[in-house]
Structure 1
């Protein structure tokens, strides 16, 4: 009988080893292409190779491990998550899914299980989008959706994506060839912490993901007039920060009033040439809008754009509104979710279906092949925070469910 608890202990020990690698001595920070990211990826690459996977790095720095099937004409089933983090992150968002999937593949190899499909295990290099303010860079390469224009996008230090790829040993010229052709895809499966409180409150260890909310990311630049804090009368000021602050509160109020899963967040704000005795002349900040429904998401985008323009006109500041990323709500595959629901029930758990408010690599993957996710209960639903945590029994339960799911998938595709 499989000892899922022993396997879980091994996975969590690896999580701790990976979390010890960080660009920030006080937390876990491994954003795309940094020295900490590369060291962490090297560690995981060693684990892939030791498992016996055909291991390589692709052009954008995704770590890819392949276990081929002996069956002629077999297609590829992708197991994946990401190993980049936000700044001051938790240990589990992304890496837990990669290392759980690695354990599943290690078990298949050790038990010499013959599969009717190839497995490709992928640790995506960039899902969070922190450094270049655009998400899913890694999975867009694998799915063939990568836009070459992104190579000229710059980070806060003025470094282009192309230069960052080269600095980490990648090859941007190789990116088009790194896509898995559409005809070779069988499906996609991702394990991930829930990043929400539903499972924690219910005590259920896992849930299948029915859909992922749509998302709009915007960069707003307010251009006023810098001036002396002591000499410019209040009525004559063109304060960019005051305009931005009014908009931030307006976005919060709008989302709160319209509900039904709509959320609005301003998570980044930059004041160039800031000083305590200078009226801010320019402010740049983000806006993140999400909803499980396309209609309310589009309506919110339009309404808040109009609100920003009105604030700018009344306060006599210029406004630049730049859409950085737009993803529509995505439904996970009904057929894979049927198999996943049966695996959950067979493992003795209630079948809970959730809509993910967080974005995941399943979004670009779903455009290429049947795709789904399994959520794992996390402590109080806390994520993107050093307090992010999981309990070993929940991970063990998810591991059993995932293994049951792969067995059922193999049976479905075995003649």
Structure 2
């Protein structure tokens, strides 16, 4: 196990080096297209080149390192995760999967292993969707499913996505050329921190992901009437903020009543022309709704829309309900996940199966390729927070499993 711990130490050093690259001096923030993001991409690109991969940055900012096997017409196994972050992030969400993949490939190359498939390691540019409210930018380009209408979407500063792409040195007109065509895919593998407490509570280092919850993201705008805080009687007000608050609590109550099937989160709340002595006339909030059951997701969506509409009718508030992103639940591939389960057993660990409540790039990839994921235990399940952490021993276990997984795939696809 000492060799795996040494490899884990090297990965942790690189994770720390990447964490030092941030838009903000006292926390980790590395959002799509920013100077810090581009510096991080350059760092990852150099590590791929040092490993002997044919490395490049594509037009959406994905950093891609390819190892071409000697088999004519061989398909490609994609090993990937992302290197963009939320604001005030932890070190491990995304980079762990990229740098673990790089370590595994480096070991294979050093041992001159002959693979029956190509491997492409990818550090996706935008999984979190912080800057443009567009998750999976990098993986939708890779899969040929990018929506060109998004090129005109603007960030908080009014910069369009296509302008951001050009600033990074990409060409918005060439995004389609960066796709890996459906017939080229062998499969997709991603290692990721669990972002939940199950493995931490069960004292187990790794788990197989069986599926990924679907999600709908919405922006809700409440329009009432602003007015003087001292002169408009309480019973005559059209307070948009109070309506928003009532709806947010109603959403929380519904999710609590169905906590085994659905989660709902309001993470953004914006008051237009806010002032302490003005009744809020317009408020916008986000709603993130998730479930592994597609029927439950639809049911929750419809019920919450009706309940919020009724609250607004009673308060004489106009509600605008806009869907900004929607993804269906994903079931991981049985063959690849089976090989991953065998790898976990080969490595000497119990097989635990978990559903991911968080979204991953495996979601868009699943439309064109078999996908599988390995969860790695993280401290108390904390994620999207500076306390995010992974022990070296757990990372060493994940490396060992990944090695056995590639070995399993090699035997599975090494046909004459």
TM range (shorter): over 0.9
> Where does residue 151 of structure 2 map in the other structure?
151
Looking at structure 1, the residues matched to 370 and 407 of structure 2 have their Cα atoms a distance apart, in angstroms, of: 17
Tell whether 2:342 aligns with 1:338.
no
Looking at structure 1, the residues matched to 34 and 275 of structure 2 have their Cα atoms a distance apart, in angstroms, of: 29
Q: Judge conservation of contact 2:213–2:290 (CA < 8 Å) in 1.
A: yes
Q: Judge conservation of contact 2:261–2:296 (CA < 8 Å) in 1.
A: no
Deviation string for 1:280-303 (max 9, x for gaps)?
111111100001101111000001
RMSD of the alignment, in Å? 1.1
Please state how far the C-alpha of 1:140 moved relative to its aligned partner. 0.5
> Where does residue 14 of structure 1 map in the other structure?
14
Looking at structure 2, the residues matched to 83 and 281 of structure 1 have their Cα atoms a distance apart, in angstroms, of: 39
Looking at structure 2, the residues matched to 156 and 242 of structure 1 have their Cα atoms a distance apart, in angstroms, of: 25
> Where does residue 97 of structure 2 map in the other structure?
97
Please state how far the C-alpha of 1:15 moved relative to its aligned partner. 0.6
Looking at structure 2, the residues matched to 39 and 271 of structure 1 have their Cα atoms a distance apart, in angstroms, of: 34
SS in 2 for 1:3: helix
Deviation string for 1:72-110 (max 9, x for gaps)?
111111000000000111000001100000111111111
> Where does residue 375 of structure 2 map in the other structure?
375
Deviation string for 1:357-395 (max 9, x for gaps)?
000011111111111000000000000111110100000
> Where does residue 276 of structure 2 map in the other structure?
276
Looking at structure 2, the residues matched to 3 and 167 of structure 1 have their Cα atoms a distance apart, in angstroms, of: 42
1:301-312 equivalences under 5 Å are: 301-312=301-312
Looking at structure 2, the residues matched to 374 and 388 of structure 1 have their Cα atoms a distance apart, in angstroms, of: 17
When structure 1 is superposed on structure 2, of 11-20 and 32-41 the one drifting more is 32-41
> Where does residue 266 of structure 1 map in the other structure?
266
Tell whether 2:44 aligns with 1:44.
yes
Looking at structure 2, the residues matched to 43 and 240 of structure 1 have their Cα atoms a distance apart, in angstroms, of: 46
Q: Judge conservation of contact 2:206–2:374 (CA < 8 Å) in 1.
A: yes
Deviation string for 1:337-370 (max 9, x for gaps)?
1111110011110000000000001111111111
Q: Judge conservation of contact 1:212–1:357 (CA < 8 Å) in 2.
A: yes
Looking at structure 1, the residues matched to 49 and 390 of structure 2 have their Cα atoms a distance apart, in angstroms, of: 27
Looking at structure 2, the residues matched to 68 and 107 of structure 1 have their Cα atoms a distance apart, in angstroms, of: 15
Looking at structure 1, the residues matched to 311 and 159 of structure 2 have their Cα atoms a distance apart, in angstroms, of: 32
Looking at structure 1, the residues matched to 165 and 303 of structure 2 have their Cα atoms a distance apart, in angstroms, of: 37
When structure 1 is superposed on structure 2, of 162-171 and 209-218 the one drifting more is 162-171
Q: Judge conservation of contact 1:208–1:340 (CA < 8 Å) in 2.
A: yes
Deviation string for 1:15-58 (max 9, x for gaps)?
11110111111210011111211111111111111111111111
SS in 1 for 2:244: helix
TM-score, reference length from structure 1:
0.98
When structure 1 is superposed on structure 2, of 338-347 and 221-230 the one drifting more is 221-230
Please state how far the C-alpha of 1:260 moved relative to its aligned partner. 2.2
1:43-82 equivalences under 5 Å are: 43-82=43-82
SS in 2 for 1:311: helix
Looking at structure 2, the residues matched to 327 and 167 of structure 1 have their Cα atoms a distance apart, in angstroms, of: 29
SS in 2 for 1:300: helix
| Ranges in structure 2 where 5+ consecutive residues have no aligned partner | none
1:141-180 equivalences under 5 Å are: 141-180=141-180
1:212-231 equivalences under 5 Å are: 212-231=212-231
Q: Judge conservation of contact 1:222–1:319 (CA < 8 Å) in 2.
A: yes
Please state how far the C-alpha of 1:2 moved relative to its aligned partner. 7.6
Please state how far the C-alpha of 1:157 moved relative to its aligned partner. 2.0
Q: Judge conservation of contact 1:58–1:174 (CA < 8 Å) in 2.
A: no
SS in 1 for 2:288: strand
- Runs of 4+ aligned residues of structure 1 deviating over 2 Å after TM superposition are none
SS in 1 for 2:405: helix
When structure 1 is superposed on structure 2, of 394-403 and 47-56 the one drifting more is 47-56
Looking at structure 2, the residues matched to 403 and 216 of structure 1 have their Cα atoms a distance apart, in angstroms, of: 36
SS in 2 for 1:186: strand
| Ranges in structure 1 where 5+ consecutive residues have no aligned partner | none
> Where does residue 252 of structure 1 map in the other structure?
252
> Where does residue 385 of structure 1 map in the other structure?
385
Q: Judge conservation of contact 1:269–1:284 (CA < 8 Å) in 2.
A: yes
Looking at structure 1, the residues matched to 391 and 255 of structure 2 have their Cα atoms a distance apart, in angstroms, of: 33
Please state how far the C-alpha of 1:272 moved relative to its aligned partner. 2.2
SS in 1 for 2:66: strand
1:199-214 equivalences under 5 Å are: 199-214=199-214
When structure 1 is superposed on structure 2, of 112-121 and 186-195 the one drifting more is 112-121
Looking at structure 2, the residues matched to 288 and 372 of structure 1 have their Cα atoms a distance apart, in angstroms, of: 24
> Where does residue 409 of structure 2 map in the other structure?
409
Deviation string for 1:137-193 (max 9, x for gaps)?
110000111110111112222221111111222211110111101111110000000
> Where does residue 400 of structure 1 map in the other structure?
400
> Where does residue 109 of structure 1 map in the other structure?
109
Looking at structure 2, the residues matched to 387 and 278 of structure 1 have their Cα atoms a distance apart, in angstroms, of: 38
